[in-house]
Amino acid sequence: MAKKKKGKKISTKMLSAMLPVLILGMAVLGAVSVFSSKQIIDDEIGKEMTLSLENEKTEVESQMQSAASLAKHMAGIVGITYENEELLAYVNFLNTMIYEEDFIYGAGIYFAPNKYDSKQRFVGPYVYKDGDTPILTYDRSQSSYDYVSRDFYKIVSNGETESKFTKAYHDEVLDCDMVNCSAPMYSADGTYMGCVTVDITLDEIQNLVSQMSVGKTGKAFLISSDGTYLYTQDSGKIMNEKITDSKNSSLAKVGTKMLDSDSGKACFTEGITGYTVYYETIPDLDWKLGIAIENSELNAPVISLGIKLAIIAAVILIIMILVILSQVKSVSRQINRVKNFAVQLAEGNFKVQSLESRRSDELGAMGQSLNEMYGNNKDMISKISGHAKLLSDSSIELKRSVEELKKDYEMIESLMNQVNSDMTSSSAATEEVNAAVEEVNSSVNMLASETEKSLELAGEIKKRANGIEDTSRSAYELANKLAAQNRAGLEKSIKNADVVKSIGALAEVISEIADQINLLSLNASIEAARAGEQGKGFAVVAGEIGNLAGETTAAVNKIKETIGEVEHAFSGIVEKSQSMLNFVTDTVAPDYDTFVNVAQQYGDDAQAIEKFSNDIARMATNIETIIHEVSQAVSSVAESSQNTVDNSGQIMQSVNSVSAVVGEVSEMSSQQEKIAGELKEVVGKFVL
């Protein structure tokens, strides 16, 4: 037996190789875990911040939308009823409206100059809260206030249809921060009539923001669209400082980023403390709601996780070292037992020279013992002895199986003849299917041709619809233009009719003068009669004057009757002209507009028909392709059927050949049975 070499143990080698890998793996795993955990925690914190901001933003939006809805509703009512309602009715409505929400301080109605009362330029009742009592004031109706020049009036006076909010401001009288919501008023004919305002105190919103907090250090703040603080923990900055003007340059950069984007995240430092800001935009107002939280609080879970992972990694490493040592010792003991067992086998009845091994550890010793064991063929001879009987039995069974196999091949030959006959019939049926496919292909070609005609017809319909739309739109614009021109001429004619009224007034004056002259003539006649003969000439003149005065009175009455008839006729003309203009405006123009819409619909329908035709054409092309492929497939099936018939003949020849081979195998199995008997006799000569 070869002399064993002394070397390193397997346990020492395994620890030397595995320990550095384990330490490196634990370090990499810990780093990846910390990095991944930080990303996950940052994402979760971002989601939590966004959710908090969204909830707070929704609350602020709800308050502002409530105020906007109240202002718009009130503006709509006043715009269509101001001609029939007293101003006091609107004041009563304002009294109720300002107490519907706690954050509403007051509300007012501001009519456009001379719209409510042509003699009064400014009409602007304003109601505000004084505890539980609404107070009405008309101070804002004074010309010195000039509400037309105020922001709350100007932001909705340029054709706006929705409520608008002014910039936030600090009211020195009330000592509170406020914002105005203005809604434009329009009359039934679309004329701008002024606006309705709702004054909102920011106390409620500031309280909401002040109560908003995340974690231990997360605090909320609110800035306006220009960066002015609307709320922050430093009350001295509220309405007095802009975030972009902060002495802290990093905070100013955060403010600039917030104003330039709708939402996001930014960082700044204050002293040695770092902060992260999450922010969202409040629509309509363009305010920015933000939460600033210390980075140390954000990173605390990651740091804690890193420490825990390091401790866990160290514990796992120690446990793994102990487990490896235990397993290596166990393997080493097992190898020594196998080695001793192999040495015992090598000391059997057959002396075989031991194999040399270059390994100096336990595995080398085990290999040397195994080589010695495999050198001993005791096992091999024992197996040959046992298998010799099995080989003899298998030869007998093989011979019986070959005989059964021969019978099966004769049956296969009969079945293949039947398959050959069936495949011939299948080939004829395939040719009939191919003819039917050709007929379907012809029908698909006709469908494609008809689809092309549909496309041309759809294009013609679309062209005609566009022509009708252009003609109807021109007629609609011309009708509106003529109506506007005739309406202006009619209004001018109505003003000219006032001349007729002036003539009537002059006629009335002339009638009164004629009556006075007639009275003077009568007095003159009386005085002439008293004068006797000397007054006859004067009496004649007085009589002529009286007659002239009577004729003047009659002529004046005739003029008055004529003026009345002229006024009546002119009123009829105005009424008929107004009716005709209303007919053009209310009936003719909408009809032309309807024609335009119908023409557009025809154009859309033509486009839809064109799309459907294109789809049908595309599907027809696909069907034609599929039919062609089916035709090829049917031809291939027919060819395969013919090939199958040919192959069946070849299979028959092969079956016959196999039958002959099976006969030869039967003879070989008989020979194998004889050889197995001889092998059994030879093995029996060995002593085991």
Within a domain: 360: no
Between the ranges 45-54, 105-114, 311-320, 636-645, where is the mean pLDDT highest?
Answer: 105-114
Q: What is the mean pLDDT of residues 203-225?
A: 85
Q: Are 434 and 631 in contact (CB under 8 A)?
A: yes
Residue 315, amino acid: V
Enter the tokens of residue 605: 């329908």
- Write down the pLDDT at residue 611: 73
Domain boundary, last residue among 334, 351, 374: 334
- Give 248-287 pLDDT, tens digit per residue: 999 999 999 999 998 888 999 988 898 999 999 988 888 9
Within a domain: 73: yes
- Give 10-33 pLDDT, tens digit per residue: 667 777 777 787 788 778 877 787
559 pLDDT above the threshold of 50: yes
Average predicted confidence (pLDDT) for the chain: 75
Q: What is the mean pLDDT of residues 479-495?
A: 69
Q: Would residue 654 be called left, alpha or beta, if left means φ above 0 and alpha means ψ between -120 and 50 degrees?
A: alpha
pLDDT confidence of 480, banded at 50, 70, 90?
confident
- Write down the pLDDT at residue 156: 93
Strands 133-137 and 126-130, how do they pair? antiparallel
- Write down the pLDDT at residue 183: 95
Between CA 653 and CA 659 the distance in angstroms is 10
481 pLDDT above the threshold of 80: no
Q: Residue 171 forms beta bridges with which residues?
A: 176
Between CA 259 and CA 290 the distance in angstroms is 11
Sign of CA dihedral 624, 630, 631, 632: positive
Within a domain: 396: no
Q: Are 2 and 357 in contact (CB under 8 A)?
A: yes
- Write down the pLDDT at residue 48: 81
pLDDT confidence of 122, banded at 50, 70, 90?
very high
70 pLDDT above the threshold of 70: yes
368 pLDDT above the threshold of 70: no
* Stretch (H or E) spanning 133: strand 133-137
Q: Are 472 and 514 in contact (CB under 8 A)?
A: no
Residue 100: CA atoms inside 13 Å, Cβ hemisphere, count?
16
Q: What is the mean pLDDT of residues 106-128?
A: 92
634 and 498 assigned to the same domain: yes
Closest CA to 193 of 124, 136, 105: 124
- Write down the pLDDT at residue 215: 78
472 pLDDT above the threshold of 70: no
Q: What is the mean pLDDT of residues 430-455?
A: 67
Residue 232 exposed, middle or buried by CB count within 10 Å (0-12, 13-18, 19+) = buried
Q: Which residue has the tokens 């009362």?
A: 117
Between CA 581 and CA 588 the distance in angstroms is 10
pLDDT confidence of 165, banded at 50, 70, 90?
very high
Rounded to 5 degrees, φ, ψ at 230 are: -95, -25
Within a domain: 395: no
Among 145-149, 312-316, 415-419, whose mean pLDDT is lowest? 415-419
Contacts of 535 (CB under 8 A, 6+ apart): 527, 528, 529
Q: What is the mean pLDDT of residues 371-399?
A: 61
605 and 464 assigned to the same domain: yes
Between CA 101 and CA 163 the distance in angstroms is 17
Percent of the chain with pLDDT over 70: 58
426 pLDDT above the threshold of 90: no
- Write down the pLDDT at residue 571: 73
Between CA 602 and CA 605 the distance in angstroms is 5
Rounded to 5 degrees, φ, ψ at 281 are: -105, 135
3-state secondary structure of 444: helix
Give the single-character DSSP code of 265: E
A 10 A CB-CB count for 592 gives 20
- Give 517-558 pLDDT, tens digit per residue: 777 767 777 776 777 666 666 667 667 777 776 777 777 677
Between CA 618 and CA 626 the distance in angstroms is 12
A 10 A CB-CB count for 646 gives 12
Give the total number of structural domains in the chain: 2
Between the ranges 42-51, 201-210, 546-555, 586-595, where is the mean pLDDT highest?
Answer: 201-210
Within a domain: 438: no
Residue 381 C-alpha from the chain's centroid: 82
pTM of the model: 0.45
2 pLDDT above the threshold of 50: no
324 and 467 assigned to the same domain: no
Q: Are 525 and 546 in contact (CB under 8 A)?
A: yes
- Give 613-641 pLDDT, tens digit per residue: 677 667 767 766 776 776 676 677 667 66
- Write down the pLDDT at residue 254: 92
632-641 long-range Cβ contacts below 8 angstroms, 24+ apart: 634/430, 634/433, 634/434, 634/437, 635/434, 637/430, 638/427, 638/430, 638/431, 638/434, 641/423, 641/424, 641/426, 641/427, 641/430
A 10 A CB-CB count for 597 gives 12
Q: What is the mean pLDDT of residues 143-160?
A: 91
Q: Which residue has the higher pLDDT, 467 or 286?
A: 286
Within a domain: 281: yes
Between the ranges 76-90, 314-328, 522-536, where is the mean pLDDT highest?
Answer: 76-90
- Write down the pLDDT at residue 681: 66
pLDDT confidence of 475, banded at 50, 70, 90?
low
The domain that holds 105 is classified in CATH as 3.30.450.20
Q: Which residue has the tokens 């796992």?
A: 316
160 and 302 assigned to the same domain: yes
Compute the chain's Rg from CA coordinates: 57
Between the ranges 144-153, 495-504, 554-563, 642-651, where is the mean pLDDT highest?
Answer: 144-153
Q: What is the mean pLDDT of residues 212-230?
A: 87
Domain boundary, last residue among 334, 359, 389: 334
Q: Are 107 and 197 in contact (CB under 8 A)?
A: yes
Q: Are 230 and 223 in contact (CB under 8 A)?
A: yes
Between CA 64 and CA 283 the distance in angstroms is 10
Domain boundary, last residue among 291, 318, 334: 334
Q: What is the mean pLDDT of residues 174-195?
A: 90
- Write down the pLDDT at residue 281: 92
687 pLDDT above the threshold of 50: no
Q: Provide the residue range defining the domain that includes 129.
A: 9-334
- Write down the pLDDT at residue 3: 46
Q: What is the mean pLDDT of residues 469-481?
A: 71
Within a domain: 363: no
- Write down the pLDDT at residue 196: 96
Within a domain: 46: yes
